[in-house]
Amino acid sequence: MQTVKKWVRDSNTIFSLWDNNQQIGTMEIALGTMVRMATAQFGNQKIIIKKTGFWKNHLEITDSNGQLIARAYPEKWYAHSYILETDNKKFKLLIRNNPLAEWALQDNNKDMLAYGLGIQEGKPIVKITTASAATNYLFDFILWYLFLPIATEQSADDLTFLMLIA
Average pLDDT taken over every residue of the chain: 87
Does the pLDDT at position 145 exceed 90?
yes
Distance in angstroms (rounded) separating the CA atoms of residues 14 and 1:
29
DSSP annotation of 48: E
Compute the distance between CA of residue 34 and CA of residue 45 in angstroms, rounded to an integer. 25
Instruction: Say how far apart CA 96 and CA 99 lie, in whole Å.
Output: 8
Q: Taking the model in full, what pTM does it have?
A: 0.87
Which residues contact residue 140 at a Cβ distance below 8 angstroms, ignoring those fewer than 6 apart?
Answer: 5, 17, 24, 113, 128
As a whole number of angstroms, the distance between CA 41 and CA 23 comes to 11
Confidence at 163, pLDDT banded by 50, 70, 90:
very low
pLDDT tens digit sequence for 20-36: 999 999 999 987 777 78
pLDDT at residue 80 in the model: 82
Domain ranges of the chain: 5-165
Is pLDDT of 160 > 50?
A: no
Residue 130 near residue 112 (C-beta atoms within 8 A): yes
